[in-house]
């Protein structure tokens, strides 16, 4: 619980000292579903980060429940698939598979085969947007609108694989130039049902290409340990969300030396020419004062990511929130915290 600070510096135009509320209580719950249930039951006054299914259920009872729901459109979260491109020396068990993963045509084929519209429709019930780059449409300032959507579909994916030396056996299974069957696993967080569903849809899409893909759900801490410590994984479905529209908070992701450069973190030097270019661009934009030049530099970063596909971007969910009708000055936004960024201005309307 947070109590009102009577000495807070801010006051409104009428001279009334803020915040208006005397206290703020936070209820900790185990899941998004539990959060929605407590809001529906009237045990909470504000709900943030609703899942699409919960939103659909609550939407039917807005009038009777005395609350209003808000669909703010896409936020800053981007979900993606990526492959293990770490340097595993000579002892890694996936070294042969990494020859596929490092081939940009293989990654492009995987991207072409994934039905992003189905992900939005089935995982987010239409309350989301498909992605082909890591900056979402919610970030209107920095989005590179010139990034083109590559030709998608199984036919395009097959052409890319054939040009990379892959072929199909009589039973439809995909093999590489040496005759080795293409099979790999995707790890993801067991606690995130939406991402698990996303991984299942990817598994189904890639099976149509003849790839044998298995899913490995992991507890979140175990997942992070595999990604950033042991590098014991083949592919991963993950999501990230920046706390700011500016690119600088994501330096640790896009610099090759960054600890969260997910596909190959903490490189002593860039493993590829395009990663070296991203390093240079990110450092330059960080110290550039001209906003239009910064935008051009980061546009190029987005283009390099979309072309080389170190991460295969999938979809971004809409920001879904709700609040009781009696709350005044409730103005949700796409930046976290979606509902309480202006908490000092929120008040209870007098309904008597």
Cα–Cα distance, 242 to 338 (Å, whole number): 13
Q: For position 149, what pLDDT does the model report?
A: 86
Whether this prediction's pTM lies above 0.85 is answered by yes
Q: For position 30, what pLDDT does the model report?
A: 80
Cis (ω within 30 of 0) for the bond into 337? yes
Q: For position 109, what pLDDT does the model report?
A: 98
Q: For position 352, what pLDDT does the model report?
A: 56
How would you label 123-136 residue by residue, b for 16+ Cβ within 10 Å and e otherwise?
bbeebbbbbbbbbb
Mean pLDDT per 10-residue section of the chain, whose length is 352 residues: 93 94 91 89 93 93 94 96 93 89 98 97 97 96 92 94 97 97 97 94 98 97 96 97 92 97 97 98 97 98 98 97 96 92 93 61
Q: What is the pLDDT of residues 331-343, one digit of tens each?
A: 999 988 899 999 9
Any residues with CB less than 8 A from the CB of 183 and at least 6 apart, and which?
A: 211, 212, 213, 214
Helices (H), the chain: 32-40, 52-59, 62-65, 95-101, 104-113, 116-123, 154-163, 193-207, 220-225, 251-254, 273-286, 291-308
Structural domain spans, the chain: 2-73+318-348
Structure token pair of residue 60: 């039917």
Cα–Cα distance, 93 to 128 (Å, whole number): 37
Q: What is the pLDDT of residues 216-267, one digit of tens each?
A: 999 999 999 999 999 999 999 999 998 899 999 999 999 999 999 999 999 9
2-73+318-348: in CATH 3.30.70.1280? no
Structure token pair of residue 163: 């040009």
Q: For position 351, what pLDDT does the model report?
A: 66
């Amino acid at each position: 619980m947070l109590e009102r600070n009577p000495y807070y510096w801010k006051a409104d135009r009428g001279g009334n000292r803020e915040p208006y509320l005397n206290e703020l209580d936070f209820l900790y719950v185990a899941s998004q579903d539990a959060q929605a249930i407590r809001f529906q039951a009237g045990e909470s006054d504000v709900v943030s980060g609703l899942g699409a299914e919960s939103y659909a259920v609550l939407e039917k009872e807005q009038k009777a429940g005395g609350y209003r729901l808000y669909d703010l459109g896409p936020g800053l979260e981007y979900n993606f698939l990526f492959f293990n491109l770490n340097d595993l020396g000579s002892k890694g068990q996936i070294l042969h598979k990494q020859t596929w993963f490092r081939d940009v045509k293989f990654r492009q084929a995987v991207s072409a085969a994934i039905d992003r519209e189905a992900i939005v429709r089935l995982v987010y019930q239409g309350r989301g947007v498909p992605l082909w780059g890591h900056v979402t449409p919610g970030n209107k300032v920095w989005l590179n609108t010139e990034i083109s959507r590559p030709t998608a579909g199984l036919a395009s994916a097959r052409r890319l694989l054939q040009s990379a030396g892959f072929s199909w056996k009589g039973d439809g299974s995909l093999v590489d130039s040496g005759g080795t069957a293409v099979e790999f696993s995707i790890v993801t967080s067991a606690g995130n049902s939406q991402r698990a569903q996303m991984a299942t849809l990817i598994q189904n899409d890639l099976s149509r290409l003849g790839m044998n893909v298995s899913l490995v759900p992991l507890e979140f801490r175990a997942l992070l340990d595999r990604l950033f410590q042991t590098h014991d994984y083949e592919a991963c479905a993950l999501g990230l969300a920046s706390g700011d529209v500016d690119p600088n908070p994501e330096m640790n992701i896009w610099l090759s030396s960054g600890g969260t450069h997910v596909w190959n973190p903490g490189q002593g030097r860039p493993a590829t020419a395009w990663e070296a270019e991203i390093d240079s661009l990110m450092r330059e934009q960080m110290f550039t004062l001209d906003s239009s030049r910064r935008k051009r530099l980061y546009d190029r970063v987005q283009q390099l990511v979309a072309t080389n596909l170190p991460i295969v971007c999938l979809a971004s969910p809409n920001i879904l929130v709700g609040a009781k009708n009696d709350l005044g000055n409730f103005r949700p936004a796409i930046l976290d915290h979606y509902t309480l960024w202006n908490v000092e201005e929120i008040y209870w309307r007098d309904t008597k």
